[in-house]
Chains A and B, each alone.
Chain A
């Protein structure tokens, strides 16, 4: 049975697919090492060994669901970079308010690289408690997210 959540459409868009879920904060720069430093462009295997849910999972074109992002202040650049080479996420869905690192990354990618990562924040703790890995998920322009 599906459940609907309403957040703030930071960068509106319509996306549908399967959810990629992390219940701990997403460490952006730690997650994309293969792409950032080994030049990988065909996929984006999560390289953050401290994230048991995501480690090794391909993050390219994922609909990412997590509380917030953390890590190096270069994290924003990492998001912009991933978007530029085509392995960035399709959507970033935050249960909490978006953090400044991710905000910088998605805005810079949108304005300077014409690459929109659909971004919704403030979906609430219940969103992250409800959505599970690979659940069907749909994001709408007005910030509505339907899980299941």
Chain B
């Protein structure tokens, strides 16, 4: 029997709650190749990508529901035919074939291209310059802050990129500053307690060890700091407004530009590290003033505070890559005395922004009276030809009506509550712990009916433990689990999707996977009762 057929015979609830050992008839054959591949990481690359055990049915099969910029609207029409990929539609629109655009380089930069820092650094800078020139960059900017990379899944197909970075590491080069990485899609201690799921994680990401190794050599921070919410105070990857940084991960770029006032394009994975090694980034797109103008006025006219992820998803779907200037929501957002958003507002903006960046490809948004550039410039941020989009209660409801139940067993009971895409802030962890713990006490119940997983950086989890040790203990006693997992990545694994009926508070996670989105109160009810609310 193939593994996938066997997996389908196991009740999903049993897999998640009991962790019963479910060895398939070829489980032994499955484990040995994993070990061999890990030991043999330096051998010649096999042809194609490493599928560790070809007898398995699609061992690393990945089937997300959507990826960023899905590109097709509800009527099947293309929405993204003019995207630049930067998160802003500023870029080179024409060229002179007799006079191709070239950057102006400093003497030092030219020397590097000529080999002053070795042939590998010359190749790195050559790549960065070639890329920037295609988008009209006039020059390079020295980087501040620290890089953040979205090269985080050791899937078989990332091998050529790993080889590129292994070559760079072998030359002794490092990033300009210790950098953060997206969270892994492997957690062997919470979701991976189940042996079937653990095997899927290991098969799905067989190059994870090599990935961790090359990041370590290139200067990545330890794994406790691997988080998509790299900008949170506990993780600390941030910089003063106006700083050019090199980040990938759409939600981080979105937050960095919008809320922190950083200057960063929505980078292609791999290119962000190359810029980080060079310590320089081409100036185009969101690094320019023109590139940060809003081509959309999103006029929010809602009767009550929305689900922030739902609002963000609707905005992203509409504006796709162009920059929105959002009015009408500052009433629900609070700033501290220094003008920065308070912790609750950080969570709301994180939810909203990540959804704009996944349902669309938004690299920057402005919120009137809230985000730094909007506070400074107000509606001077509108581009000349901006359009207006009104979001009222009916429009929001229309969008929500498009959400589908994509569970393999649509009427089954939920198997997991996943909270934390992007990773939770400390305040979000406290909020949820308090809410769920209270609900359990009110129900007189000792154990959660549906497992709940809270994803955050280990450092943020440690903050919770430090400040609220009793609450933290109580959450573990009732069966909640804290993880630094990337939940959407793992729920995109083909086999996982077949057996998991996940629910979430994240519209980004919903967009990428078959997880279903519910309100906070509904999720608590699901956690306590094990059932979808009527």
Contact = CB atoms under 8 A, between A and B. Distances in A.
Contact of B158 (A81, A105, A143): A81
A4 interface: no
Interface string A54-86: 000000000000011111111111101101110
Secondary structure of the B side of the interface?
loop
Interface in A122-136: 122
B250 to A, nearest CB: 6
A122 B228 CA distance: 35
B165 to A, nearest CB: 10
Contact of B127 (A24, A78, A111): A111
A25 B81 contact: yes
Contacts of A111: 123, 126-127, 130
B219 interface: no
A39 B494 CA distance: 15
A33 B76 CA distance: 21
Interface in A81-126: 81, 83-85, 96-105, 107-108, 111-113, 122
Contacts of B123: 111-112
B49 A81 contact: yes
A24 B82 CA distance: 10
Given A35-B157, A111-B130, A8 B250 contact: no
Contact of B95 (A33, A73, A75, A122): A122
Nearest to A122: B95
B361 interface: yes
Contacts of B94: 122
From DSSP, what is the main secondary structure of chain A's interface residues?
mixed
Given A73-B250, A99-B84, A142-B97, A107 B131 contact: yes
B30 interface: no
B391 interface: no
A116 B265 CA distance: 25
B155 A38 contact: no
B67 A77 contact: no
B120 to A, nearest CB: 10
Interface residues of A, number: 55
**Interface magnitude class on chain B:** 35 or more
B248 interface: yes
Interface in B57-75: 58, 60-63, 67-72
Interface stretch (B7-15, B19-27, B266-274): B266-274
A33 B494 CA distance: 11
A36 B157 contact: yes
Contacts of B50: 39
Contacts of B62: 33, 36-37
Given A77-B151, A81-B159, A122-B95, 19 more contacts: A24-B71, A27-B70, A33-B62, A37-B61, A38-B58, A39-B48, A39-B60, A40-B48, A41-B47, A41-B48, A68-B85, A70-B85, A73-B250, A73-B269, A80-B164, A85-B48, A85-B49, A100-B135, A104-B267
20 contacts: A6-B97, A24-B78, A25-B80, A37-B62, A37-B155, A41-B47, A67-B78, A68-B83, A70-B69, A71-B67, A73-B248, A73-B250, A73-B268, A76-B268, A99-B85, A100-B268, A104-B270, A105-B268, A112-B127, A113-B160
Give 3 closest A-B pairs by Cβ, nearest first: A39-B51, A104-B268, A99-B85
Interface of A: 6, 8-10, 23-25, 27, 29-30, 32-33, 35-41, 50, 67-78, 80-81, 83-85, 96-105, 107-108, 111-113, 122, 142-143
